[in-house]
Chain A
Amino acid sequence: MTVTSLAEGRPAFARARRRRRVPTAWIPYLFLAPALIWYAAFLVYPMLQSLYISFFDWDGLSPTMTFVGLKNYIDIFMSDEVARLALWNNILWTLGALVLPTAIGLMLALALNRRVPGSTLFRTIFYSPAVLPLVAVGLIWAWVYNPNFGVVNTTLKAVGLRTWAAGWLSSYELALPATFVTFVWSHVGFPMIFYLAGLQAISKEYYEAATIDGANAFQRFRHVTLPGLTETHVIVLSLAVINGFKVFDLVYTMTYGGPGRSTQVLGTWMYFQTFQYYHAGYGSALAWVIAAIVLVIAIPYIRRMSR
């Protein structure tokens, strides 16, 4: 038959190629392997290790650990008043982070998206706090707020507002909001940059069409800009939630959780428990509570908004 004769008559190089043919499905994994190994060794393994530790009573130093099951998790919610206060502070912080830096960042992006003289300079100025280490930012702002020689009180006194001068970080009521102002100052650049990128991806034709249809500036913003920024909102708001719950550096450097415990957040409380009180198991449980809260809030939101 023809087929048989064709097969028999196939040139030698074709048979060689057939012999060399190997399954190729694993090749992508080969390329992913270096990153996966790195990820597994330095992220997945420590995470699983901390989950394991969270079921133990361990000081982080001794060779032996005592299994306590879910006790650490139960204590966090049932008997640890500071953890509850810290959780509440995190919720307030996150709500603030969702509104203030995001809204200010969007406004700055809208302003700087136009062709105005010096817009590059202003973008750099507004973004520059975001590249500073938060520890340095915290220490600088602690001086800014110093009740005696800080620039805030000195300025208020100089302009005749002496009665407005306060112990910004020493007051139980003002310490957390004052620290949050620093957070806004240092974080407003992130949403600004994201929104600038998002705005530049919106086609100008939509605005032209809306203008021709008689839409005013607010209507263009409401019906063209905001929907066009949907994907950017997902990123910005997700990061705001994540940053809100993992805040640590600013609180640690500016208030050290005080006065009293008034500015403790889950991140600092986890640090205090693990490294200062030698409760590594309890601290690990706190870390997983933070992670769980962030995942519960962020993942459904990202999935819904990404459809």
Chain B
Amino acid sequence: MRGMRLLAATALAGLVAFSAAAEAKETLRLMTVFDAPTVQLWEPVLAAYNEANPDYEVKMETVAGSGAAVYPDVLRTAMASGDPPDVFFMWGGEIAGPFIRAGQVAVLDSYYDKYGWDKVVAPWTIERITRDGHKYGVPFHARGMGLWYRVDLFEKYGLSEPKTYDELAKVCSTFKENGIYCASFGGKFGWQTMRLLDYFIETTCGPEEHDKLNALQSSWNQPCVVAAYDRMAQWVKDGWLVPDFLNVAPNDARMAVYSGDAAMVFEGGWFEGVLKSDEQPMENFKFFLPPTDHTPVRYSAFPEQWMIPEASKHKDAAAALINWLTIADTQKKFPEAFTASATIGVESDCSVAPRDCEWKKILTSDSQTYPPTDQAFTKELIDGFFEVQDGVVAGKITPTDAAAQMQAKAEAWKAKQKS
């Protein structure tokens, strides 16, 4: 009995000491959009950090599955309330723009000098997140997108990965002749359909003009844009896309591919994880970069980044956390948590994630990328872009009118910025 009391007293003393130690640690809040499986993968990562760091305890807050439609609202509310997280996830490009313009995001230039992140992550990702010569974030993911296809359907009809746009058109017409849709899209929110239109613009306008269009340095009311809208209208008219898709949720668009009603879907490297969680046979899915008929052959890609709010009380600790999460040494210990990493020298396990392994090679190679338009435009302008795009898909707007309307929206937006 006495021994039991002694044991209990020792345990209590240990618990008190542990609690005191835990209380001594400051909390670092990390806000993400991770879903439940990703949060699970990240638990050992954060546990390792907390164990190694005597001063800070990292706690993750996630707005799971909300995507770019809702997460910025939650973040905005946190910032407006004066209680932002210490580190937060953000997509690349203009989605971060309002936060930066409002002075809510810390400039990380000095931390880049301190930690040498310029040499740690893929250069194109840093270039993509740099605004007015300043770096407000640290690239975390490098995401590329391409056309994922059903291998069995390609083999059944004797098709191979197309190398030109005409070959892609031939693939689609072959599928159509055999009662299969070439591709499936979910038009709700606009951004998945945009991937196809972006590709068409890249093919019809070429890399240089596409970049100028995204920067609003060139008129949208020009023949190559009309040609891109025309291709979109033609794909719908020819029945190459699963019909009535304008308000289908992007995730639901995959069903047609799984069932074999459609052959392809425009997705990113993350699709490998989706296929696994949807219990689809991985060997039956491959991807290719859509041929653009231009040199260099560019593909749609974007970084995702970590940022630090200007109002964070722990900026140095937040930067140290980002550095710990970014360096190859950390990421190599937790390969499943750091798929699609932007960090140089972190290779995926090709036996576990073969497609991610292929993407990694492409994303860290010399190949060039173009941004998805929703990361080039503000939300207000991109919704105008989606409005025109929907009109073309539905046959409400002709390609010629679409180009003119898009230019009018670009001009109206620019005028609004000046006023």
**Interface residues in chain A, defined as those with a beta carbon under 8 Å from any beta carbon in chain B:** 59-63, 142-143, 146-149, 166-167, 169-172, 175, 254-256, 258-261, 272, 275-278
Question: Nearest Cβ distance between residue B306 and chain A, in whole angstroms?
Answer: 19
A60-B76 CB under 8 A given contacts A149-B255, A260-B391, A278-B98: yes
A60 & B80 in contact (Cβ 8 Å cutoff): yes
Q: List 10 extra interface pairs beyond A59-B101, A260-B396, CB under 8 A.
A: A62-B101, A148-B248, A169-B247, A256-B69, A256-B247, A258-B187, A258-B247, A260-B391, A261-B387, A276-B69
CB-based contact A147/B76 at 8 Å: no
Do B189 and A256 touch across chains, with their CB atoms under 8 A apart?
yes
- Supposing A61-B80, A62-B102, A260-B391 touch, asked if A172 and B396 sit within 8 A by C-beta, the answer is yes
Q: B137-145, B238-246, B339-347: which one contacts chain A?
A: B238-246
Partner of A61, one of B104, B187, B242: B104
In whole Å, how far is A53's beta carbon from the nearest beta carbon of chain B?
A: 12
Q: Closest CB-CB distance, B189 to chain A, in whole Å?
A: 6
Q: How far is the CB of B97 from chain A (nearest CB, A)?
A: 9
CA of A171 to CA of B396 in the docked complex: distance in angstroms?
Answer: 11
- Report Cα–Cα, A147/B249, bound state, in Å: 11
Which of chain B's residues has its CB closest to A252's CB? B69
Shortest Cβ gap from A61 to chain B (Å): 4
Known: A61-B102, A147-B245. A256 touches B80 (CB 8 A): no
Interface range on chain B (Cβ under 8 Å from partner): 35 or more
On chain A, the residues within 8 Å of B383 by CB distance are 272, 276-277
In angstroms, Cα B393 to Cα A272, docked, is 23
Interface of A is mostly: loop
Partner of B73, one of A62, A142, A275: A275
Q: Does B231 contact A (CB under 8 A)?
A: no
Distance, CA A163 to CA B190, complexed state (A): 27
**Chain B residue contacts of A61, Cβ below 8 A:** 76, 79-80, 98-99, 102, 104
Residues in B with CB closer than 8 Å to A272 are 383
Cβ contacts A to B, 12 pairs, < 8 Å: A59-B101, A61-B102, A147-B244, A147-B245, A147-B248, A148-B242, A148-B261, A171-B394, A172-B394, A175-B247, A256-B189, A260-B387
Residue contact A258 to B248, C-beta cutoff 8 Å? no
B252 at the interface (CB under 8 A from A): yes
Cβ of A276 and Cβ of B379 under 8 Å apart?
yes
In B50-87, the 8 Å CB interface with A consists of: 69, 72-73, 76, 79-80
Query: What are the interface flags for B376-392 relative to A under an 8 Å C-beta threshold, 1 for contact and 0 otherwise?
Result: 00111001001100110
Given contacts A60-B80, A261-B387, A275-B73, contact A171 B98 (CB under 8 A): no
